[in-house]
């Protein structure tokens, strides 16, 4: 009689099967996702399962890594969740019979959770519940959750498993980054500690890293948890061809690594990406014939360059701008960024504003999707050459989540540390309408990344080796057409970690009263946007042609009464001053947006508001 999976696990080491995708490729089946062949070529999938069992696999994994509703959406297969998963279990059971255990495999959604992405936890949990129900209905003997980069997503899958069937054995595997410095630190141990709070039969790691790196991970997992450990390394670093990953497996090398892993205390061993039938046969034969004395795998200890977590560096001091928040009425002015490489006029504008006591200047990031110099590079130039502090706008439009984080780390190293996170305008309205938009994350996700950096972690919780100290700003549009949506969006930004709010231009004190009721509840400092109008045409252009800006009719009428351009500008300045006087006691500062390079207009507004430093007044 076949032992239960838990009983069998207690009696000795188990070997998993390998990569169905790799075996499909060997048969000329390259379509993505490989899960679709469960329905298109069921006989081939069953044949692959049987080959792995005959090679010595004790655990057969269903062909369902990307078979949840969210992951299948991009392939138009989201309505096939139940059929695909249940069929996959049946095919695995037909091959396993009484010789192997069938593991229903659950993998990640392939999208980021909020606030990094836009997927809410409950939606993800429901998708996992739907998939696991199908796997259980099909007769899976255990669940194998693998390939999860984001630990919170893995925890959601574990919660779903408990909801569906608390008695079903569950193995949870985290995917770790290919980063020696991270793996030499305490991350694997911390992951083991968090996963141990769930009712698991085993925990461990799968994919991403190869056999050498996996040895170091396994050592830390075994030391940190009383649960059995399962590790499934990739066979090598893959070559990427479109969506397809191609590997170069060496069965003998994998067999040697498997012996080392078992000697460390690993109880379930196998291989993941690129693992063919020959790989699993070599691993199975090696594990079952090996003694506890094994050959040492190269690099199974951290190298001197990646010693376990170095003494943490002292966290940098808050930026001068951040230190002033709540202690004085702040003034920032937006600089007009010219096209091209000549920035002397902009630098002179920053020097001019600094002489009049402006606290910081705002540097936009490709506003309206127009080609301009990098906001981070330009902020460094301004700060280093003029001494003026910058509020650096960073847009999510042009960089994926890896590039965004790299840019932010570079910005911090350069002293560019006041970041206003914006989603960014779509490319089709800008200079290059056919450019590709990225938008891996939106402004809320970017704020979450900045907050994680300040806590010493990257976007997925991997340690940075030290904490940053960004001042995190967000944008808010009081005149948004969808007021309820804008309000809710602001609340999510603050919840994600925003420390200060910069608004779009506001012209109506009455409108500001509505905003104030929302902002006061959030308890976050706010700098209200003030845009002095030049002419009535300027006012009408902004009102009718620029999304998100609303100028009251009474303001436009006042501008229309001006008989000359100079008189119109004086009226625009007067309106700006009157507005600031009306809201001054309810805000922590103003964000001035003067007309085209007319920084003297900003200074005149400050003079009328009596906000110039005493030294300048004298």
pLDDT band of 184, cuts 50, 70, 90: low
The pLDDT assigned to 244 comes to 78
The pLDDT assigned to 284 comes to 97
Dump the DSSP string for 370-398. -----HHHHHHHHHHHH---EEEEEESSS
Residue 553, token pair as written in the block: 């009719």
Alpha carbons 608 and 594: distance in angstroms, whole number: 15
The pLDDT assigned to 240 comes to 76
Task: Quote the Cα angle for 589-455-398, to 5°.
Answer: 70
Alpha carbons 317 and 481: distance in angstroms, whole number: 39
Q: Is the dihedral of CA 304, 308, 309, 311 positive or negative?
A: negative
Alpha carbons 387 and 320: distance in angstroms, whole number: 12
pLDDT greater than 80 at residue 309: no
pLDDT tens, 108-160? Answer: 999 999 888 888 999 999 999 999 999 999 999 999 999 999 999 999 999 99
Q: Which residues fall within 8 angstroms of residue 225, CB to CB, at 6 or more apart?
A: 192, 193, 195, 196, 203
Considering the chain, what percentage of its residues have pLDDT values greater than 70?
A: 94
Residue 509, token pair as written in the block: 């004190």
Task: Quote the Cα angle for 479-482-484, to 5°.
Answer: 100
Average pLDDT, the chain: 92
Considering the chain, what percentage of its residues have pLDDT values greater than 90?
A: 79
The pLDDT assigned to 561 comes to 95
What pTM, to 2 d.p., does this model score? 0.84
Residue 99, token pair as written in the block: 């010789």
Residue 86, token pair as written in the block: 């249940």
Q: What is the dihedral of CA 90, 96, 102, 106, to 10 degrees?
A: -60
The pLDDT assigned to 613 comes to 86
pLDDT tens, 353-407? Answer: 999 999 999 999 988 889 999 999 999 999 999 999 999 999 999 999 999 999 9
Alpha carbons 239 and 337: distance in angstroms, whole number: 42
Least confident stretch, 31-35, 298-302, 328-332, 429-433 = 298-302
289 or 14, which is more confident?
A: 14
pLDDT band of 428, cuts 50, 70, 90: confident
The pLDDT assigned to 115 comes to 83
C-alpha dist (Å) from residue 332 to 359, 412, 574: 6, 20, 19
Nearest to 299 by CA among 405, 214, 223, 356: 214
Q: Which residues fall within 8 angstroms of residue 342, CB to CB, at 6 or more apart?
A: none
Question: Is-contact 207 232, C-beta < 8 A?
Answer: yes
pLDDT band of 524, cuts 50, 70, 90: very high
Question: Is-contact 417 472, C-beta < 8 A?
Answer: no
Q: Hey, what domains does the chain have and what are their CATH numbers?
A: 5-306 (3.20.20.330), 330-476 (3.20.20.220), 508-618 (3.20.20.220)
The mean pLDDT value for 180-204 works out to 84
The pLDDT assigned to 477 comes to 95
The pLDDT assigned to 302 comes to 40
Alpha carbons 412 and 21: distance in angstroms, whole number: 41
Helix intervals (H) in 334-458: 344-355, 375-386, 401-413, 443-454
pLDDT greater than 90 at residue 243: no
Alpha carbons 300 and 298: distance in angstroms, whole number: 6
pLDDT band of 417, cuts 50, 70, 90: very high
pLDDT greater than 90 at residue 502: yes
Burial 52-73, CB ≥16 within 10 A → b, else e: bbebbbbbbbbbbbbbbbbbbe
pLDDT greater than 50 at residue 301: no
580 or 182, which is more confident?
A: 580
């Amino acid at each position: 009689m076949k032992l239960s999976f838990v009983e069998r696990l207690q009696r000795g080491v188990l070997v998993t099967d390998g990569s169905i995708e790799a075996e499909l490729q060997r048969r000329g089946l390259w379509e993505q996702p490989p899960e679709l062949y469960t329905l298109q070529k069921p006989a081939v999938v069953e044949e692959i399962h049987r080959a792995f069992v005959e090679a010595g696999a004790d655990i057969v994994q269903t062909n369902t890594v990307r078979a949840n509703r969210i992951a299948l959406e991009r392939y138009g297969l989201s309505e096939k969740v139940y059929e695909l998963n249940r069929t996959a279990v049946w095919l695995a059971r037909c091959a396993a019979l009484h010789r192997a255990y069938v593991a229903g495999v659950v993998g990640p959604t392939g999208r980021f959770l909020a606030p990094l992405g836009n997927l809410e936890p409950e939606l993800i949990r429901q998708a996992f519940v739907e998939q696991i129900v199908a796997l259980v209905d099909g007769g899976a003997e255990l669940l194998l959750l693998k390939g999860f980069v984001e630990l919170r997503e893995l925890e959601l899958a574990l919660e779903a498993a408990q909801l569906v069937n608390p008695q079903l054995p569950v193995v949870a595997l985290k995917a770790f980054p290919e980063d020696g410095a991270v793996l030499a630190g305490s991350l694997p141990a911390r992951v083991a500690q968090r996963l141990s709070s769930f009712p698991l039969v085993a925990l461990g790691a799968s994919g991403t890293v190869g056999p050498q790196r996996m040895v170091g991970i396994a050592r830390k997992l075994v030391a940190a948890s009383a649960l059995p450990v399962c590790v499934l390394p990739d066979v090598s670093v893959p070559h990427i061809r479109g969506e397809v990953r191609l590997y170069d497996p060496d069965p003998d090398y994998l067999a040697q690594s498997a012996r080392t892993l078992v000697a460390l205390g690993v109880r379930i061993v196998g291989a993941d990406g690129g693992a063919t039938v020959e790989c699993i046969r070599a691993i199975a034969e090696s594990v079952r014939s090996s003694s506890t004395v094994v050959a040492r795998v190269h690099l199974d200890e951290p190298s001197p360059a990646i010693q376990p977590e170095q003494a943490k560096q002292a966290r940098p001091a808050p930026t001068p701008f951040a230190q002033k928040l709540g202690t004085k009425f702040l003034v920032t002015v937006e600089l007009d960024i010219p096209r091209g490489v000549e920035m002397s006029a902009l630098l002179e504008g920053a020097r001019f504003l600094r002489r009049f006591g402006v606290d910081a200047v705002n540097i936009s990031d490709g506003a309206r999707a127009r080609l301009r110099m990098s906001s981070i590079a330009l902020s460094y130039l301004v700060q280093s050459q003029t001494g003026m502090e910058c509020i650096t706008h960073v847009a999510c439009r042009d960089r994926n989540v890896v590039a965004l984080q790299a840019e932010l780390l570079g910005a911090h190293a350069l002293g560019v540390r006041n970041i206003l996170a914006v989603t960014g305008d779509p490319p089709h309205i800008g200079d290059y309408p056919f450019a590709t938009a990225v938008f891996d994350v939106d402004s809320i996700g970017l704020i979450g990344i900045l907050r994680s950096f300040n806590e010493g972690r990257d976007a997925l919780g991997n340690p940075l080796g030290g904490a940053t100290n960004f001042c995190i700003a967000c944008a808010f549009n009081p005149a948004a057409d969808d007021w309820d949506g804008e309000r809710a969006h602001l609340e999510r930004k603050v919840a994600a970690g925003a420390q200060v709010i910069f608004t779009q231009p506001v012209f109506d004190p009455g409108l500001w009263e509505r905003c104030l009721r929302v902002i006061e509840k959030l308890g976050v400092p706010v700098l209200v946007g003030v845009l002095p109008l030049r002419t009535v045409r300027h006012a009408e252009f902004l009102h009718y042609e620029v999304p998100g800006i609303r100028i009251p009719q009474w303001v436009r009428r006042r501008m229309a009464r001006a008989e000359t351009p100079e008189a119109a500008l004086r009226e625009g300045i007067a309106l700006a001053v009157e507005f600031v006087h009306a809201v001054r006691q309810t805000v922590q500062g103003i964000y001035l947006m003067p007309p085209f390079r007319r920084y003297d207009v900003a200074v005149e507004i400050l003079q009328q508001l009596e906000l110039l430093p005493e030294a300048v007044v004298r």
